[in-house]
């Protein structure tokens, strides 16, 4: 039985190490994508207090990794919020669509994407 030694063993070990590092960096790059979007949301007039954290998180329909941060209330029914959470882009779009589908929301306008 032959055993690997010397330069041949070092070459194989180096190749395995390089392959594992490349795989790790690709996975980190995919997860590093962030959803950071500023939205103007028009609400129905019957929403009592849009500034409460409970109300804002309820707009996300159980998307627990996403967060809405209130920036301003333009009137009783218009708020400006930042949506943040993990990427990729399709997950960010899905979170925005969940807000649009909420019965208390009349419209959602994407003001700015922070990328």
33-113 CATH fold: Alpha-Beta Plaits (3.30.70)
Where are the extended beta strands (E) located within 1-115? 34-43, 67-73, 78-86, 105-113
* 96 close to 85: Cβ distance less than 8 angstroms: no
pTM for this prediction: 0.68
d(CA 47, CA 114): 28
Q: What confidence tier does 28 reach under pLDDT thresholds 50, 70, 90? A: very low
Q: Is the pLDDT of residue 20 over 80?
A: no
Q: Phi and psi at residue 77, in whole multiples of 5°?
A: -125, 5
Query: Looking at residues 44-48, what average pLDDT do you find?
Result: 90
Nearest to 96 by CA among 84, 45, 104: 84
Domain ranges of the chain: 1-32, 33-113
Q: Which two tokens stand for residue 35?
A: 């959803």
pLDDT higher at 114 or 107: 107
Q: What confidence tier does 59 reach under pLDDT thresholds 50, 70, 90? A: very high
């Amino acid at each position: 039985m032959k055993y690997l030694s010397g330069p041949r063993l070092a070459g194989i070990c180096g190749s395995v190490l390089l392959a594992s590092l490349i795989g790790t960096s690709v996975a980190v790059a995919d997860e590093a994508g962030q959803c950071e979007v500023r939205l103007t949301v028009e609400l129905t007039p019957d929403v009592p207090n849009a500034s409460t954290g409970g109300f804002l998180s309820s707009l996300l329909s159980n998307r627990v990794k996403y967060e809405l941060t209130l920036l301003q209330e333009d009137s009783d029914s218009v708020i400006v919020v930042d949506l943040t959470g993990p990427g990729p882009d399709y997950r960010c779009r899905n979170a925005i669509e969940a807000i649009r589908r909420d019965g208390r929301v009349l419209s959602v306008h994407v003001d700015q994407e922070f990328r």
